[in-house]
Chain A
């Protein structure tokens, strides 16, 4: 299957700091997605990106679809305690979605 490399694996930051995480792939994707998963729940979609080079914001979140279509990043500005969770990137190719291994974010108040 497709391999998505997501980094960093975990982050411990102070409240108010900005966060950046990224995903790279050996394959080209049509769509890049970013999800957040809280304990005991399924992932929830944060941002979807549909075109190479696209930069999209959703509140304090900003994500970009790399121009090579093989990478994407997610930035979170001015982190707050409720940002805690695991963030996953995912790439879509035809009808299948391939997920990264996740970035665990801890925000210290």
Chain B
């Protein structure tokens, strides 16, 4: 499809294990965002990639969280030594940055992470 895709859709892991979440943005979109959504809460910004610029990591909650974006396209969010409080839906969004009116984000369906 032409939308943002994320995998896996669901991930159950044990406390202390590492997990990798993948995001495939819309082709041609240069900006990519990761958010975390806890149950009944709004979206919490995690990290932002724009082209070849250094990512804005100011939203990452701890050094256990990291993200990469390879070739300006696919992105991977890695959570090391997962904790139960990491359980949430992780959403990825991409946008075409070319002027203010093109900064609209398109979201993927999310990855639901459950840490036991």
Chain A positions within 8 Å of B, measured between CB atoms, are 1, 4, 6, 30-31, 33, 40-45, 48, 50, 88, 90, 92, 95-102
Contacts and interface: CB of A to CB of B under 8 A. Distances in A.
B102 to A, nearest CB: 10
Given A42-B4, A42-B93, A97-B33, A30 B100 contact: yes
Contact of B45 (A40, A41, A98): A98
Interface residues of B, number: 27
B65 interface: no
Q: Is the interface of A mostly helix, strand, loop or mixed?
A: strand
Contacts of B41: 101-102
Interface in B5-56: 31, 33, 35, 40-45, 48, 50, 56
Given A96-B45, A96-B48, A45 B109 contact: no
Given A30-B100, A96-B45, A96-B59, 4 more contacts: A31-B100, A96-B56, A99-B44, A102-B42
Nearest to B31: A95
B50 A95 contact: yes
| Smallest CB-CB A-B distances: 7 pairs | A42-B107, A99-B42, A99-B43, A101-B42, A43-B107, A41-B109, A100-B42
A44 B48 contact: no
B45 A1 contact: yes
A1 B109 contact: no
Nearest to A100: B42
9 contacts: A1-B59, A30-B100, A31-B103, A42-B93, A42-B109, A95-B31, A95-B56, A97-B33, A97-B105
B108 A95 contact: no
Contacts of B107: 41-44
B108 A42 contact: yes
Between B93, B103, B106, the greatest number of chain A beta carbons within 10 A of the residue's beta carbon is seen for B103
Contacts of A101: 40-42
